[in-house]
Amino acid sequence: MTARILDGNKMAAEIRVEVAAEVRALAASGVRPGLAVVLVGTNPASEVYVRGKVKSSEEVGLYSEKHTPSETATTDALLALIADLNSREEIDGILVQLPLPPQIDAKRVLLAVDPAKDVDGFHPMNVGYLSTQRPGLVPCTPAGVMEILKRGGVPVAGQEAVVVGRSDIVGKPVAMLLLNQNATVTVCHSKTRDLPGVCRRADILVAAIGRAGMVTRDYVKPGATVIDVGTNKVSDRKEFDRFFAGNKKREETFLTRGSTLVGDVHPEVAEVAGAITPVPGGVGPLTIAMLMANTVKAAKLRRSQK
């Protein structure tokens, strides 16, 4: 048996079309949702992410602007920038790209973002809204995981869901979203006993660990849905062979780029799972699509709450 592929690129494209339609509908009432992205310094990976976010904003018709304080910016300078963005009516979403340089008090900066404009959903106010099932902004990657389940026709209510990883950014909010949709949720982490045994209980297994190919076939109940959030760069040949020996297409990428991406789930899991997200092309594309959706949601929520 080979698992059904849950195609994140296709689902993200559908979401972008829906968001673009909402943006057009808002334009008819004179509203153009605006996203401000703050990128401090010159981290190459962050620059790539921010470029993708700005490009995607333009494609769906959002107003967007990029702020690029220097690598040596102070916490106070950043707080002043956030205060300005908070006060501007045409800005609906504020995204501070992480990680921030070490001299910056990241927690203080994230706390300063107006919760109504917190399109990353990291502010404690939005965390509270999520856990008490009130309308608010939900972190993009976890929201993307739920979209994959919905659009992939995977039932959630009453199912056993196991989430490996308990970060504030992915694991915890995914667990809360699954619980809110009536799954029976178990959250695992580095201290969990018999991790493979716990994971084998899952009808829906979400891996958000950050360890290349850690989830092997012995973690997975035959027929389970496996959502792989991990993105790990593999540039070592031996490591590559461990995952992709004999996979010609992957080998081409690996030889041209010198690396390839692998999730937290070993590719062999596709032989036992019922449905699975690929890496790349699974959860990743949904993250940016949900940022677009969140910006529109923020624009609507803020206006409805005035």
Q: Which of 92, 97, 117, 159 is catalytic?
A: 97
Q: Which residue is it, tokens 């334009």?
A: 27
Asked if 224 interacts with ligand NDP (CB under 6 A), we say no
- For residues 144 and 138, the answer to whether their CB atoms sit within 8 Å is no
Identified binder of ligand NDP from the candidate list 82, 161, 206, 208, rule CB under 6 A: 208
Query: Using the rule CB under 6 A, is 127 a contact of ligand NDP?
Result: no
On whether the CB atoms of residues 206 and 174 are closer than 8 A, the answer is: yes
Decide: is 145 part of the binding site for ligand NDP (CB under 6 A): no
User: Is 109 strand, coil or helix?
Assistant: helix
Does position 164 interact with ligand NDP (CB under 6 A)? The reply is yes
Q: Does 141 bind ligand NDP (CB under 6 A)?
A: yes
Nearest distance from residue 293's CB to ligand NDP, in Å? 14
Q: Which stretch binds ligand NDP (CB under 6 A): 53-61, 82-90, 96-104, 207-215?
A: 207-215
- Identify which range of 28-36, 79-87, 130-138, 281-289 contacts ligand NDP by CB under 6 A: 281-289
Give the number of residues in contact with ligand NDP, rule: CB under 6 A.
25
Q: Which residue is nearest to ligand NDP (CB)?
A: 167
Q: Which of 75, 167, 180, 186 binds ligand NDP (CB under 6 A)?
A: 167
Under the binding rule (CB under 6 A), the answer on residue 231 touching ligand NDP is: yes
| Beta carbon of residue 269, minimum distance to ligand NDP (angstroms, whole number) | 16
Query: Is 284 among the residues that bind ligand NDP (CB under 6 A)?
Result: yes
DSSP 219: G
Residue 97 annotated to the active site = yes
Q: Characterize 54-88 residue by residue with b for buried, 16 or more Cβ atoms within 10 angstroms of its Cβ, and e for exposed.
A: bebbeebbbbbeebebeeebeeeebbebbeebeee
If one asks whether residue 289 binds ligand NDP (CB under 6 A), the answer comes out as: no
28 C-beta neighbours (distance < 10 Å), count: 7
126 binds ligand NDP (CB under 6 A): no
Backbone angles phi, psi at 93, to 5 degrees: -130, 140
Determine, following the binding rule CB under 6 A, whether residue 170 of this chain makes contact with ligand NDP. Answer: yes
**Could you say which of 287, 289, 290, 293 contacts ligand NDP (CB under 6 A)?**
287
The residue annotated as part of the active site, out of 92, 118, 120, 264, is 120
List of residues 6+ apart from 271 with CB closer than 8 A: 1, 2, 3, 217
In sequence order, which ranges of 40-162 are alpha helices (DSSP H)?
44-60, 75-87, 106-112, 124-131, 140-151
When the beta carbons of 209 and 269 are compared against ligand NDP, the nearer one is 209
Label residues 241-274 b or e (16+ Cβ within 10 Å = b): eebbeeeeebeeebeeeeebbbbbbbbebbebbb
Stretch of 54-62, 129-137, 159-167, 234-242 contacting ligand NDP, by CB under 6 A: 159-167
Write the CA distances from 208 to 27, 95, 163, 166, 264, integer angstroms.
Answer: 37, 22, 7, 8, 7
Is residue 117 among the annotated active site residues? Answer: no
Compare residues 27 and 48 and give the one whose CB is closer to ligand NDP.
48
Residue 146: left if φ>0, alpha if ψ -120 to 50, beta else—which one?
A: alpha
Residue 228 near residue 264, CB atoms below 8 Å? yes
- Please report whether residue 232 would count as binding ligand NDP according to CB under 6 A: yes
Asked about 120 being catalytic, the answer comes back as yes
* Secondary-structure percent of the chain, ordered helix, strand, coil, rounded to 5: 45, 15, 40
Give residues in contact with ligand NDP (CB under 6 A): 141, 164-167, 169-171, 188-192, 195, 208-211, 229-232, 283-284, 287
Residues annotated as part of the active site: 53, 97, 120
